[in-house]
Amino acid sequence: MNLDAIAQAAGVSRMTVSRVMRNHPDVSRKTRERVLGIASAMNYRPNPMVSVLMSQVAAAKKSQFHPTLVYGWEHEVIRTRAALEKSKGGYFKWVKRRAEQLGFHVEALRINEEGMSQKRYSDILKARNTPGLIIAPAEDPEVSYDFDWDAMSSVTFGYSLRRPALNRVCLDYQAGIYKALKRLTGLGYRKFGLMLGKTTDDRIQHLWSSGFLTFHWEADLNCKSNIYIAETDSQDAFVQWFESHPFEVVLSYAETSHIEWARSVEARLNRKRACQFVHLDGDFMEESALFLGSLESCRRQMGEAAVELLVAQIKQNEHGVPDRQRSVVIQPELILNGESCQS
């Protein structure tokens, strides 16, 4: 069964059938539904290898036209593109690299630029005929945007964008910390603590803490007090928590000051074994010799996956907010000091 037979049965041109199969926006809903209905009745199935071949042909062509994607971000400290490109905790350089490999340019456009309303931002995207928008994680764990989503394809990172529910690329926090605890257990460690800032815990929807609790629940261990969710970075509160538990490993976003506080407690209480610290984001681990290791950030893999997800939507003419949110999940690994990191 080919497109010509469907076109003849539907009373339309072969080009119209081809456009229907590619979800082209210029085809009316009535025509699309009629053609798809006839194709289904005729048991039409597209040949996936034809799509692969056409993609290879397109990639081989030296096109002079490179559509521009927009990387949208908001940050109170990282306010310029130069700062964004140098940021060790961002995705932009990986997004830019992968997009260029696929034939796209990327422009960074700050969402909370001074004098920039959401309406103006949306109007800029529309005026530029932006085919796709990638939204970076926000500091606000409950951020929402009101853009003209129907005019473009869009994806985001993580969990901070609560509305609308766009397709997204996420780090698998829950599985990552669960697997890290399993590996640490295999190394002989038994008593674990988890320290998080409340904003971080809220932004990732408590997935690190849930993975931590799941690991201990499976081992039939009560560990609720082993989790310290800090409203503010208080030495007194940390010391009180650390004194109450003879931890062997603490997983956290620990600064070197936290390790110094821990060593002070250990000396005062005459603890025989120093607690080890595992950083939850290897990109931000300073003085790595002080840490047992860290969890991968996977920002390269996430940046590349976001571009691939967005480009797939653009090619399928999938605009607007999806009926059902889809998530691409990247799983981090525990990297001990001396091991190589892939992210």
CATH label of the domain that carries residue 279: 3.40.50.2300
Q: How many domains in the chain?
A: 3
Is the domain of 96 the same as that of 207? no
Is the domain of 43 the same as that of 74? no
Is the domain of 233 the same as that of 123? no
**pLDDT value at position 286?**
82
Quote the Cα angle for 6-11-16, to 5°: 65
- Separation CA 115–CA 34 (nearest Å): 47
One-letter amino acid of 103: G
Report the Cα 25 to chain-centroid distance in Å.
Answer: 28
Instruction: For residue range 233-276, list pLDDT tens digits in order.
Output: 899 999 999 999 999 999 998 788 999 999 999 999 999 999 99
- Separation CA 209–CA 88 (nearest Å): 25
- Separation CA 172–CA 105 (nearest Å): 29
Cis bond upstream, residue 164 (ω within 30): yes
Average pLDDT estimate for 320-333: 96
Instruction: For residue range 283-309, list pLDDT tens digits in order.
Output: 888 888 899 999 999 999 999 999 999
Residue 339 lies in a domain: no
**pLDDT value at position 5?**
80
Number of other CB atoms surrounding residue 217 within 10 Å: 12
Instruction: For residue range 125-156, list pLDDT tens digits in order.
Output: 999 999 999 999 988 878 899 999 999 999 99
Residue 334 lies in a domain: no
Is the domain of 190 the same as that of 145? no
Residues spanned by the domain of 116: 68-170+301-329
Instruction: For residue range 98-132, list pLDDT tens digits in order.
Output: 999 999 999 999 998 888 999 999 999 999 999 99
How far is CA 103 from each of CA 96, 100, 236, rounded to the nearest angstrom? 10, 5, 53
Residue 337 lies in a domain: no
Q: What φ, ψ does residue 247 adopt, rounded to 5°? A: -65, 145
Is the domain of 268 the same as that of 242? yes
